[in-house]
Structure 1
Amino acid sequence: MTEPSLALQTAIRARLIASPHVMELVEPREIRDGDTRPDAFPSIILGAGQVVIAGHYTNYRNVTAYLDLHIWAEGEGLENTKTIGGAVWNAIGRDLTVPGFDLHDGIHVERSIYMRDPSGCGHGVVSLRANMGYHL
């Protein structure tokens, strides 16, 4: 079994790459796991994951998985970063499939925040939550 936040990260990356709207804005190779600050812009860095155990059963476990997506773009203001953030929101939807896991109520965008990096680039963080279950 794959660790839940890694399985979620893999499914999110596949969903983003399958989105024509995201692909108009970000190259597929720039949607990746890695350090928080990228070398190339625009990019989406699949950030830190967290898993909280929500219930143990004899042959089944419920968890809540969290994942942050770091969106980076150049340009005046935060418009480019927010445009990519909007495309990400639309691409993710709620009907995500994560192989090996049951998503009990889909995936949720918990929040998004946008800020200026000291370098002048725009930086956004889109935080996701998924209630997931799997058989042991």
Structure 2
Amino acid sequence: MIEPSVSLQTALRTTLITDTAVTALVQPANIRSGSTRPDKHACVIMSGASTEYLGRAAGDQHLAQINLDVHIWAIEDGADTAKAIGFAVAQAVLAMSDTHDGFEIDSLDQPRMIWLRDVQPELSYTHGLLEIEAIIRWRV
């Protein structure tokens, strides 16, 4: 297992690029981690990950809480397209498997989805932010 937040991001990207509802709206190459300013539209960008180590569990397992921001950007049809992407992403996250290569998800929540005005409104971007909180467990 690599660093817990990177492992979760990798599993989330795999989930999103294999979900047909998401890929009907966003090309798989535009679902990535990295900087939050898009270079292509529509896109889903995972960033702002933080890891809080929660300690050890039975059987030489380790626990961590991961907070991850998922940014949704769209320009075509503005808010309607962005909100459709956000809903598809949220549904895919809810259906995400608990077992992944090297770790298991004990808890996965989406406490908030917000829609932001872009700092350059003349470009007609719509930007959404889905917050994800997960508790994951792995063996060393």
What TM-score do the two structures reach when normalised by structure 2?
Answer: 0.88
Identity %: 35
2:98 equivalent to 1:123: no
**Separation in structure 1 between the aligned mates of residue 2 and residue 128 of structure 2, nearest angstrom:** 28
Please give the secondary structure, in 2, of the residue aligned with 1:9. Answer: helix
Report the residue type matching 1:110 in the other structure. Answer: P
Q: CA deviation at 1:84?
A: 0.5
Q: Report if the CA contact (8 A) 1:94-1:108 is conserved.
A: no
2:106 equivalent to 1:104: yes
For 1:31, the equivalent position in structure 2 comes to 31
2:131 equivalent to 1:132: no
Report the residue type matching 1:49 in the other structure. Answer: A
**Separation in structure 2 between the aligned mates of residue 76 and residue 23 of structure 1, nearest angstrom:** 17
CA offsets 1:104-130 (integer angstroms, 9 cap, x no match): 23x221211111212330001111111
Q: CA deviation at 1:95?
A: 4.2
Q: CA deviation at 1:4?
A: 0.6
Structure 1, gaps ≥5 residues long: none
CA offsets 1:10-67 (integer angstroms, 9 cap, x no match): 0100100111110110001100112111111100011121111112358221111111
Please give the secondary structure, in 1, of the residue aligned with 2:100. Answer: coil
CA-atom RMSD in angstroms: 1.6
Matches within 5 A, 1:1-136: 1-57=1-57, 59-75=60-76, 77-96=78-97, 97-105=99-107, 107-119=108-120, 120-136=124-140
Report the residue type matching 1:127 in the other structure. Answer: E
Q: Call closer, same or farther: CA 1:85–1:12 in 2, change over 3 Å.
A: same
Q: Report if the CA contact (8 A) 2:15-2:96 is conserved.
A: no
Aligned residues: 135
Q: Report if the CA contact (8 A) 1:78-1:115 is conserved.
A: no
**Separation in structure 2 between the aligned mates of residue 25 and residue 55 of structure 1, nearest angstrom:** 39
**Separation in structure 1 between the aligned mates of residue 57 and residue 13 of structure 2, nearest angstrom:** 30
Q: Call closer, same or farther: CA 1:68–1:128 in 2, change over 3 Å.
A: same
Q: CA deviation at 1:80?
A: 1.5
**Separation in structure 2 between the aligned mates of residue 126 and residue 26 of structure 1, nearest angstrom:** 16
